[in-house]
Homo-oligomer: A and B are copies of this chain.
Amino acid sequence: MNTKEKILDEALTLFSEKGYANVYVNDIAERVGIKAPSLYKHYKSKKAIFDAIIDEMNRRFAIQAEALKINGTDAGKDADIYRTLPEDQLLKLGREFFLYYLHDDYNRKFRKMLTIEQFHDKELAKVYSKLYVDDPISYQGALFGFMVAAGVLKTDNVEIMTLHFYAPIYYLLTICDREPEREEEALKLLDEHIRQFDRLYGRK
């Protein structure tokens, strides 16, 4: 990792813990192992570092969305896989989403940073809602659509069913971001939530 990338990385770590205003260019430089004025050879200001993080994140999420779209399409074609083992499929879907979003460093730090900065700027609020509200609902809603069509799940309101699946996951994720020591408790609730969801909506 070159210096320019390392600056982004350390800045994101600090921003996610203390928020933009509580992080000083000196702190970032110290972590990178250079003096503060040297930062300005790589970025023209502190704000430029922040903006570069947002850009990098947009780039990563665009790639991820592209991958999900492909998987989503495949999932649609392969609706057969949902014809069996609905509970296992749901547990896999829920756990994968939860653990990836919780443990992936870039994801976790970026989400915490956005949590802190979301009220500061309308654009950041929109980014937050897109990444952690609308995109997951949209993707999971599409999958549930297939599962309902395949007869594995049953509802007359896929939108609310998706909300019932995702909202507890989101809720547990925010708990773990705030108090990582509650992860075990959250994982237990996550599993119970999904099993119960399957009993409520599963066609049995």
Cβ-closest chain B residue relative to A22: B21
Bound-complex Cα distance A192 to B112 (A): 30
Q: Indicate which residue in B171, B193, B201 contacts A171 across the interface (CB closer than 8 Å).
A: B171
Say whether A35 faces chain B, with CB atoms less than 8 Å apart: no
Chain B residues whose CB sits within 8 angstroms of the CB of A159 once the complex forms:
189, 192
Interface residues, chain A, CB within 8 Å of chain B? Answer: 16-19, 21-22, 112, 115-116, 118-120, 125-126, 128-129, 133, 157, 159-161, 163-164, 166-168, 170-172, 174-175, 177-179, 189, 192-193, 196-197, 200-201
Complex contact B189–A163 (CB within 8 A): yes
Q: Could you tell me if A178 and B22 are in contact, using CB atoms closer than 8 angstroms? A: no
Residues of B close to A167: CB separation below 8 A: 167-168, 170-172
Q: Judge whether B116 and A112 touch: CB under 8 Å.
A: no
A183 to chain B, nearest CB (A): 13
The reply to whether A168 and B164 contact each other, CB–CB distance below 8 Å, is yes
Chain B residues contacting A126 (CB-CB under 8 Å) are: 179
Q: Report whether A178 and B18 are in contact in the complex, using a CB–CB cutoff of 8 Å.
A: no
Question: Is there an interface contact between B22 and A120, defined as CB atoms closer than 8 Å?
Answer: yes
Beta-carbon nearest neighbor of A16 in chain B? B119
